[in-house]
A and B are shown apart, each in its own frame.
Chain A
Amino acid sequence: QVHLVQSGAEVKRPGSSVKVSCRTSGGSLSSYPITWVRQAPGQGLEWMGQIIPIFGATDYAQRFQGRVTFTADESTSTAYMVLSSLRSEDTAVYYCARAYAVTHNWFDPWGQGTLVTVSS
């Protein structure tokens, strides 16, 4: 059974960048899209975008364009999300999740989430 294991909580200063990792255990990244979703405190789920590791193809939500970068390392079965120019509004739990397929983007399983706190 596939599990996604994310890196630990981060505290960052405004204007800096954060890198969150998402390692797949029990399976490979391969052709499954890895999607990133964030959840601000007390708020709903917000889709940030996705990467198809085998192709390196990315799709970013417009509001994050230019500020977020997704990468993947198939040798370690790990996907990464870098969010730059951090501001307080970026304080949230960031989740990675695997999509069923390129054309069937429902998400299962999910990582446990990584809390990113942006504070001066």
Chain B
Amino acid sequence: EIVLTQSPGTLSLSPGERATFSCRASHTVTSNYLAWYQQKPGQAPRLLIYGASSRATGIPDRFSGSGSGTDFTLTISRLEPEDFAVYYCQQYVSSPYSFGQGTKLDVK
């Protein structure tokens, strides 16, 4: 079973700043089978990135994903007010298709 560890637990930034989220896997995530989701309070998660670096349909280009092996990063180049939310990574290399514990992005 692949365990995903996200850091930091909370990220406090201001609009206009750059946000960087880390996701580390306990085993190699082959073929870059890693996705990122955004979740706002009271809403279902929304897919942002799949294949570690491919943006989902309709996702602004300020969101980007990178990484390989066991270390992955989600970057928001310039924060907009609507970006403050919780972000999760998820691996789909093998079942169980686990999620990280999440990083909360809040307003500084």
Contact = CB atoms under 8 A, between A and B. Distances in A.
A36 to B, nearest CB: 11
Per DSSP, chain A at the interface is strand
Contacts, number: 58
B92 A104 contact: yes
Contacts of A10: none
Question: Which size bracket describes the interface of B in this complex?
Answer: 20 to 34
Interface of A: 35, 37, 44-47, 49-50, 59, 61-62, 95, 97, 99-100, 104-108, 110-113
Contacts of A100: 50
Interface in B60-108: 88, 90, 92, 95-102
A108 B47 contact: yes
Contacts of A99: 92
A112 to B, nearest CB: 6
B56 A108 contact: yes
B97 A105 contact: yes
Contact of B96 (A44, A62, A106, A113): A62
A52 B98 CA distance: 18
A46 B98 CA distance: 7
Contacts of A49: 96
B95 A107 contact: no
B78 to A, nearest CB: 24
B90 A107 contact: yes
B88 A45 contact: yes
